[in-house]
């Protein structure tokens, strides 16, 4: 049996619940990423974001190949094409289970409902794991069982929850197979051509940015964060947005 990890906004090996779960099965593991340029355009993605994603996807493919996990990239148009594309890949690779980390935006939730329905009718399992939030969604509620509307009491409850439930990071999984040649990530049309080379790609780039912030900027963050010329912020948003770095890693 082969397990499939569907990477989305979680382009990393470390602290990746879906990848960890798939590797823990003891079966062969493969991975995929569904490239959907028309959907990205609908979501107003910038060419710089797309460039960072593709470079980080190549870094991920290189890392996965060293673990013996092939990364399949499938070029589609929109999320509507994902269910059929996943089923086709599962059928060709004899895959019964698809592992993915949960996403919470409207279109992503709709896509995942369609994927679940499509795979279930073909007797395949679609397993999702919490990833994008430090605390499970809908866990923090007021005494009246309602969402918080004021930041300060929410922040207090957030830290109290973490005090009771310390962050536990997942290590990089061991290699389930022999090393493979790295995957080749396709290029995209011209509207994606703007470069963001000043942002280093992949997990290495994300952790370098995090370490730089902790070592030299965090002490003056409160005083300097509102002044763009001061270079006082973390510059971690691009990595968090694509899941190259997890919020749990930042907390730890």
Q: Are 202 and 244 in contact (CB under 8 A)?
A: yes
CA atoms within 13 A on the CB side of 231: 4
Listed range (30-44, 46-60, 165-179, 181-195) with the worst mean pLDDT:
181-195
pLDDT of residue 87: 97
Return d(Cα 35, Cα 52) in angstroms, integer: 14
Can you give the pLDDT at residue 211?
Answer: 95
Reported as a single tens digit per residue, the pLDDT across 208-224 is 999 999 998 888 888 88
Q: pLDDT tens, 224-251?
A: 888 888 888 898 999 999 999 999 999 9
Closest CA to 126 of 88, 95, 80, 81: 95
pLDDT digits (tens, 9 = 90+) for 74-87: 999 999 999 999 99
* Confidence at residue 67, expressed as pLDDT on a 0 to 100 scale: 95
Report angle CA 124, 128, 133 to the nearest 5 degrees.
170
Q: What does the alpha-carbon distance between residue 145 and residue 126 come to, in Å, rounded to a whole number?
A: 30
pTM, full prediction? 0.93
Q: Is the pLDDT of residue 90 over 90?
A: yes
The confidence band for 148, taking pLDDT boundaries of 50, 70 and 90, is very high
**C-beta of residue 119 within 8 angstroms of C-beta of residue 90:** yes
**pLDDT confidence band for 189 (50 / 70 / 90):** low
């Amino acid at each position: 049996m082969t397990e499939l990890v569907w990477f989305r906004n979680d382009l990393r090996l470390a602290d990746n619940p879906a990848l960890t779960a798939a590797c823990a099965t003891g079966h062969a593991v493969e991975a995929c990423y569904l490239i959907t340029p028309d959907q990205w355009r609908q979501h107003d993605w910038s060419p710089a974001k797309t460039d960072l994603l593709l470079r980080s996807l190549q870094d991920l493919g290189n890392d996965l190949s060293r673990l013996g996990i092939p990364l399949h990239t499938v070029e589609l148009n929109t999320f509507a094409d994902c269910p059929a594309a996943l089923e086709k890949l599962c059928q060709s690779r004899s895959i019964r289970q698809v592992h993915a980390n949960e996403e919470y935006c409207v279109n992503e939730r709709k896509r995942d409902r369609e994927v679940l329905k499509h795979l279930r009718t073909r007797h395949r399992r679609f397993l999702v794991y919490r990833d994008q939030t430090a605390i499970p969604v809908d866990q923090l509620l007021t005494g009246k069982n309602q969402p918080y509307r004021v930041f300060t009491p929410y922040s207090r409850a957030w830290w109290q929850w973490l005090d009771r439930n310390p962050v536990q990071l997942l290590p990089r999984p061991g290699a389930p197979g022999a090393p493979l040649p790295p995957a080749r990530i396709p290029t995209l049309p011209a509207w994606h051509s703007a470069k963001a080379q000043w942002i280093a790609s992949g997990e290495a780039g994300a952790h370098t940015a995090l370490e730089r912030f902790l070592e030299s900027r965090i002490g003056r963050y409160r005083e300097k964060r509102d002044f763009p010329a001061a270079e006082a912020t973390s510059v971690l948003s691009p990595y968090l947005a694509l899941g190259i770095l997890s919020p749990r890693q930042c907390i730890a």
